[in-house]
Every structure is written in structure tokens, then in C-alpha cells.
Structure 1
Amino acid sequence: EQIEKQFALSARPFIMHGNSVLDHVITELYQVPENIRLEYLRVKVLELLVTLKTVDPTLVGIERPYFYKSQVEKVRAILAFMMKEPERHFTMEELSEKFNISTSSLKQCFKGVYGTAIYTYMRNYRMDMAASLLTQTDEPITVIAGKVGYTNTSKFSEAFKKVKGKTPLEYRKIEI
């Protein structure tokens, strides 16, 4: 009840960003040792509640986005559609038209649901896919670049390094 009042949860749901302590506690909820699962989760939920009580909602960036269920469903369908063809770069206009959603709603809803812009999400997805191909296959980097939508290998290497911190060649040597 205290936490509900503190964050005015009855008004509308919200997203709270930028609290490393909360991020840490929540991350640990996913790393549960099997032999003490129930006890561990109880302790972590209590830790989460205590941590929430110490957070001043006026000092953290609290966003209160609201999206219609139909918008969220469309955004999820758009992501699934794009993931089927990672080599293809879709424009916002193409996606908006195909899924009957305005470009501004698409951008806002996607960021609200996935926490990042649509192009950033897809770039990261493509680079994760490329990283997997680099370590699990012997395919040339130019072929991998093409599979994730890059016709120019140097542009691919630049994007890969920006996301992964290493060039594709360095990544392949280190990870194998």
C-alpha cells in the first residue's frame, strides 16, 4: 500500500528508468539457484520492496506512457515481421502503411514497449545475429554482412564495432 501511494500506482502504470540498485535486484531475480528457489525468490522480492521504499519518485525519471492494446499488438507484429527478414531494411513509412499505424505512434509505442528506438533495436538484433554467425560458422564476413542487411562490408564492420566493441574479425578470433 505504501509503495502504491508513493508512486501513485493506482493512477496509471509507468516505467522507471535509471535506477541501478533496482536493476541489480531485478536482474538477480533471474539468477535463481534451483536448490533454494522459493527461499531465494522470497528474499529477493523483499529486497525489491525495501529498495522501492527508499526510491524518491520525484528524483527518478518516471514516464507514464499509455498505449492501446491494438497498438502494442501491431508493434509486436511489426517486430516479428522485421525479424523474419533481417537482411532487409524497412522504412517507417513502409511499416506504418503495411500495419496501418501512424509513424509517430509506431515510434512512440515501439520505444515504450521495447525501451529503444526501432532502428537501434534492429541494429542490435542484426549484430547479435552476426556475432552468432561469426562464432558458429566459417562463412566469410562479407556473406554474414549480407545476411544481416549490409552490402558494404566496411559499413557492416563499423556498425558491428559500434555495438560489440570489436571488429567482426577481432570478434571471431577472440570468441572461437
Structure 2
Amino acid sequence: MSIVFSVTGRETHKLLTVPLGWRHDQGSEVALVECDCFAIGLIRAGSVVLAFDDKVVPVAAPAIFILDERTRPVLRNAHALQVSTLYFNPAYINDALQPCVLHDEAARRALAGSTKQDYFLLEPFIKQSGARGVFPLPAHLAGQVASLLDAIITQAGEQPDKYWPCRGRSFLIELLFQLRLLQGDAAPALALPVMPEDARTSRIERALSYVQERYQQEFTLGDLARSCATNRTTLNSEFRAATGMTVRAYTIALRMKMAAALLRDTKIPVAEVMTRVGYGNQSHFTRAFHQSIGDTPRAYREKNIIF
């Protein structure tokens, strides 16, 4: 089956066509659509075998797969399967990031500025294509990934207000950001420190997972310490020894990276960006952003917005 997915504006942005589509499938008769789009598949329930050209991968919920436009495994032996698949052209994130560019190593090396930063979000689709792009979802992230996927679909399908194209893109950026945090090589591109192997204790790994899941929410060092079965002083000391940053500094760094992407790649109001990354006070957000990025949020947007 070959389908070109796109969403066209109805009440607002009537001349706009967004290269985005989706399918919800269940049962045993499930197939991935052949189209010039990347795909994110969320296995919500059940199990299935993904058959690639060179490998067969059994997967059970909750799990996710990411595919470039060239890769479409055959789904076999589905059992009580429920899967939602989002299809999008990478140019939806940045017009310069067409699939032909992403598959060209020389073109990728030539990327610069905000386009290079946006490529970071899409890099796993190229470098982890095929069977390498299938992985289980940690239970603590499964609900968040599902919520973001549903939010993207709701914005494009219902088009609730004039911000629906940008807001849908913003939720996609958040989803891609979360998926990058699952990748072992994400920290360098995020300008966050990389833990040496001998520092990756189970407690610090739990702490990192907790922070990465909740960086957009308010939580205390005490909350984090209790989740890791230790005290605040010990945890912060171990976290700093492993990452070079305190828990607070690491959390702020994640928030600012996400805020920068939303400011650069969407036109949603700055106040909405602020709340989406966990701030309730405009002056606190502006001060934190300026200290981290070197510009106020509005100035950064004016200099870097891609459209």
C-alpha cells in the first residue's frame, strides 16, 4: 500500500500542507505504509515480530521503533497488538533537512548553526536505521511518549487554534528530544557531560532517568533522593562526581536545550515555551535562559528562528 500523508489547514492556514500522517492499528493484519517519510511506531500493547532484510526482532509492549523513509520491516506474528505509527517528513522540523540531505554524509558534515542543532534530533533515524532502531521503552517513559504522540495527532487532526502547525511541531520536537535521551550518545550533542563507564552505578542511572523524565516538572532533590533510596547530600555528591554537574544544573541544562529548540523551530508564544519546560515565572525563565544560552528568549528567537 502506498499513501502520501499530509494534513491541510481547514479554518486557519488554509494554504498550508503539513507533511505528517498517522495510523492506529490493532490485531494481526498490520502493515507499515510506504511513503517518503520517517516513521515513529509506538507499540502500546501486545507483541509482534519485526522482520528486516538482515534481522528478525521480536518486540513486546511498551516499545518503540524509528525508521527512515527507506526502511519498512514486515510485521509478523502479531498478538493482541496495538500500534500507533506517526509518519513525518523531516523537513517538518527544518526545511533544510530533506531526506536526501540526511542520507548524504558530506551534506550532513556541512550543516551549521540551527540546522545542525535540529539534525541532532533526527540523527538516530539515519544512524540507527533498520533493526538498530527498535528498542523497549522504559516503563517510566511509555506514558509520556504516548501522550506526546497523541498530542501531535490531536493538533494536526483537530486544528484547535491558529497555533496548531507550530504546536504540533513543538510536540514532535519534544518527542524526538525524549527519544534522543534514550540514546547512549545523546549527551555530547546536548552539551551535557558523559559519565565514564565506571561511574554508571545503578543509583546514578536511576537518578538520570528520573531527571530526564521529570525535567519539565517541579521536583526537589529530596524527591529524587527518596526515589534512589539515599539522602540528598550523598546523591548530589555522587551525581556531581559522575556527571560534573549538580542535579539542579543538569535539570536546568535539559530545560534550556528544550526551550531553545521550541523557540528556534516554532512560533508558539514564549510564555507557552516557558511553561512547557517547567517554569511558572517569566523573570526566572528569562534569567535562566540568558545565563545558559547568552540571549533572552525573545532575542534568541529573533536571531535563530528557521522560518
* Short-chain TM bin: 0.5 to 0.7
In 2, distance between residues paired with 1:78 and 1:100? Answer: 10
Match of 1:98 in 2: 227
1:130 aligns with 2:268: no
Superposed, 1:106-117 pairs within 5 Å as 106-117=235-246
1:74 pairs, out of 193, 203, 222, with 203
Report the Cα offset of residue 84 of structure 1: 1.5
Determine which structure has greater relative contact order: mean sequence separation of CA pairs < 8 Å that are 6+ residues apart, divided by chain length: 1
Q: 2:204 corresponds to which letter in structure 1?
A: V
What's the TM-score once normalised by structure 2's chain length?
0.34
Match of 1:118 in 2: 247
Report the Cα offset of residue 160 of structure 1: 0.3
The answer to whether the 8 Å contact 1:96/1:103 transfers is: yes
The answer to whether the 8 Å contact 1:92/1:103 transfers is: yes
Q: CA RMSD in A?
A: 2.1
Report the Cα offset of residue 149 of structure 1: 0.8
In 2, distance between residues paired with 1:107 and 1:82? Answer: 12
In 2, distance between residues paired with 1:90 and 1:145? Answer: 16
In 2, distance between residues paired with 1:168 and 1:116? Answer: 23
SS at match of 2:292: helix
Deviations 1:21-68 (A, max 9, x none): xxxxxxxxxxxx99xxxxxxxxxxxxxxxxxxxxxxxxxxxxxxxxx9
1:89 pairs, out of 198, 201, 218, with 218
In 2, distance between residues paired with 1:112 and 1:154? Answer: 31
Match of 1:156 in 2: 285
Q: 1:166 corresponds to which letter in structure 2?
A: D
Report the Cα offset of residue 72 of structure 1: 2.3
Q: 2:201 corresponds to which letter in structure 1?
A: V
Q: 2:256 corresponds to which letter in structure 1?
A: M
Q: 1:85 corresponds to which letter in structure 2?
A: R
Gaps of 5+ in 2: 1-104, 107-197
Larger radius of gyration: 1
In 2, distance between residues paired with 1:110 and 1:166? Answer: 28
Q: 1:159 corresponds to which letter in structure 2?
A: A
Report the Cα offset of residue 153 of structure 1: 1.5
In 1, distance between residues paired with 2:209 and 2:276? Answer: 17
Q: 1:121 corresponds to which letter in structure 2?
A: Y
Deviations 1:96-140 (A, max 9, x none): 112202212201110011111110111111001100111111111
The answer to whether the 8 Å contact 1:88/1:149 transfers is: yes
In 1, distance between residues paired with 2:284 and 2:231? Answer: 30
The answer to whether the 8 Å contact 1:86/1:147 transfers is: no
In 2, distance between residues paired with 1:89 and 1:79? Answer: 15
After superposing on structure 2, the runs of 4+ consecutive aligned residues of structure 1 that deviate more than 4 Å are none
Match of 1:174 in 2: 303
Deviations 1:146-172 (A, max 9, x none): 011101112101110011110000001
Which of the two has greater strand per residue? 2
What's the TM-score once normalised by structure 1's chain length?
0.58
In 2, distance between residues paired with 1:143 and 1:167? Answer: 15
In 2, distance between residues paired with 1:76 and 1:89? Answer: 20
Report the Cα offset of residue 86 of structure 1: 2.1
The answer to whether the 8 Å contact 2:210/2:224 transfers is: no
